[in-house]
Amino acid sequence: MEKVQLSLEEWQRLAEVTPEERESALKLLRRWVSWQIIYRGFSLDYGPFSRAALGGDADDIISNECEEALFCGEWHWKPSCKLSTQLINIAKSKMGHIIEDYYERGQPEHTLTSDQSFSEEMETNLALADQWKFEANMRDMGYEIARKAVKGHPDLEAYLDAMYKLDNYYGIASLLNTDVKTVLKLEKKLLNLLAKV
């Protein structure tokens, strides 16, 4: 992962998380990780999320790594994103890398639970890894694409900055010191510009 430079505001938000908020978010994260592993057809006995591959319980290891990654400043955490949602985004990326690393190491045992061939299973799992990593980075990628498209349009640049901080019309209007009607016009202008790009 590329080096991340957190702002003072981001460090402050991390420091203000209460132990109760942190524990609640981690509990949701563990449930999400466990559900995704089971829902996607992985086994905890063999394969990329097994104890043998990870050195412990997948939900504990992945959750702990996500918590450490966020609170050690390896990921940006935007004000509009709930703590649990941010941890899940990090988990998507980490789980995608776990699958890729598992197959790249060349040590996967045969993990079939259906009539699927090993190469089909590997292809399916690697596609899922790509999907998870894409979902984890999609918002930031979309923002960067939009930032390049609106360069030289100060009103749209301000709108994008406000939208990145707060993801609702009233919040954006408040940040821009305007009304919702103007925000809707800016949104339409942005979408028209992006359609041309």
At residue 99, φ and ψ (nearest 5 deg) are -65, -50
Q: Are 94 and 87 in contact (CB under 8 A)?
A: no
Rounded-to-integer distance, Cα 139 and Cα 117, Å: 35
Full pLDDT tens readout for the chain, 197 residues: 456 788 888 899 899 999 999 999 999 999 999 999 988 888 888 889 998 888 899 999 999 999 999 999 999 887 878 899 999 999 999 999 999 888 887 765 544 444 456 667 777 777 777 777 766 666 666 777 888 888 999 999 998 888 777 667 777 888 899 998 898 888 888 888 877 77
Residue 116: per-residue pLDDT: 53
Q: Are 111 and 157 in contact (CB under 8 A)?
A: no
Q: Are 150 and 157 in contact (CB under 8 A)?
A: yes
Of 65, 80, 69, nearest in space to 13 by CA: 80
Q: What is the DSSP letter of 115?
A: S
Q: Tell me the residue ranges of DSSP E strands in 18-115.
A: none
- For residue 145, the surrounding DSSP H or E stretch is helix 118-149
